[in-house]
Amino acid sequence: MSLELSDDVDPDVGPLCFRVTREGTTSPVIDASTDVKLTRRSDGAYSLGLACTEEGGLTTKIPACVSAAWRKHVKELASAPPTDVTSKFTPSGLPRPPARTAAGTPTG
């Protein structure tokens, strides 16, 4: 998952909360947090890898199996037809948000 952050994000160490709730429910299936320091890259984006595992919870120490799966996923995206890739990602490489109606309802 990639998140776009505003330019006024404080680079100091701070808590990052990750909460996942199934649609139609109120209690999260994942509710975890960890202290992180965001690093601003030369292109202006912030970069930080996180993993959420049953064993380690939310962590910046990404298990080798998760890294391998991510590399495989990125490689598959890189070999996809250009029209498919550009429709899923913004020019900066972040996932394109779903299209929404004027009322804010997702169209897809």
The helix/strand/coil state of 4 is coil
Answer whether residue 102 is part of any domain.
no
Looking at the structure, do residues 30 and 80 belong to the same domain, yes or no?
A: no
Task: Choose between 91 and 20: higher pLDDT.
Answer: 20
Q: What is the pLDDT, as a whole number, of residue 30?
A: 86
Does residue 100 lie within any of the structural domains? no
Q: Using CA atoms, how far apart are residues 54 and 28, in angstroms rounded to an integer?
A: 15
Overall average pLDDT of the 33-46 stretch: 76
Q: Which of 11-15, 34-38, 98-102 has the highest mean pLDDT?
A: 34-38
Residues 36 and 79 in one domain: no
Q: Which domain holds residue 25?
A: 1-59
- Check pLDDT > 60 for residue 27: yes
Q: Are residues 72 and 50 in the same domain?
A: no
Does residue 35 register a pLDDT over 80? yes
Q: Are the C-beta atoms of 59 and 47 separated by less than 8 Å?
A: no
Per-residue CA distances from 38 to 20, 72, 91, 104 (Å): 21, 25, 22, 30
**Residues 17 and 30 sit within 8 Å (Cβ to Cβ):** no
Domain contains 108: no
Residue 67 lies in a domain: yes
Mean pLDDT of the region 68-86: 74
| For residue 22, pLDDT beyond 80 | yes
| Rounded Cα gap, residues 92 and 44, in angstroms | 10
Mean pLDDT on 3-31: 79
pTM (2 d.p.)? 0.46
